[in-house]
């Protein structure tokens, strides 16, 4: 029988990141997440990860949250 609910993450997310937004920013992010069909937290995390990858690669820095495939 298939388990119901969110799949267990191999690396649990146990750190919090507080961010102050304007009402307009929050509404825009929420709308984008809804259009993408994912929760707003997942949408924000995905966008931040993409930006971090881009910025760290441009700076020639290691991307700590990416695993190197061997």
Q: From first to last of the 70 residues of the chain, give the pLDDT tens digit.
A: 666 766 666 778 889 999 999 999 999 999 999 999 999 999 999 999 999 999 999 999 999 988 765 4
CA distance 34 to 56: 28
The residues spanned by each domain of the chain are 30-58
pLDDT score, position 38: 97
CA distance 12 to 49: 16
Percent of the chain that is helix, strand, coil (3-state, to 5):
45, 0, 55
**Closest by CA position to 39, among listed 28, 48, 49, 30:** 30
pLDDT score, position 24: 98
CB neighbour list of residue 24: distance below 8 Å, 6 or more residues apart = none
């Amino acid at each position: 029988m298939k388990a119901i609910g969110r799949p267990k993450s191999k690396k649990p997310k146990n750190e919090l990141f507080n961010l102050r937004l304007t009402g307009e920013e929050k509404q825009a992010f929420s709308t984008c997440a809804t259009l993408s069909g994912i929760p707003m937290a997942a949408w924000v995390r995905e966008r931040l990860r993409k930006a971090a990858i881009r910025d760290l690669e441009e700076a020639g820095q290691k991307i700590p949250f990416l695993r190197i495939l061997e």
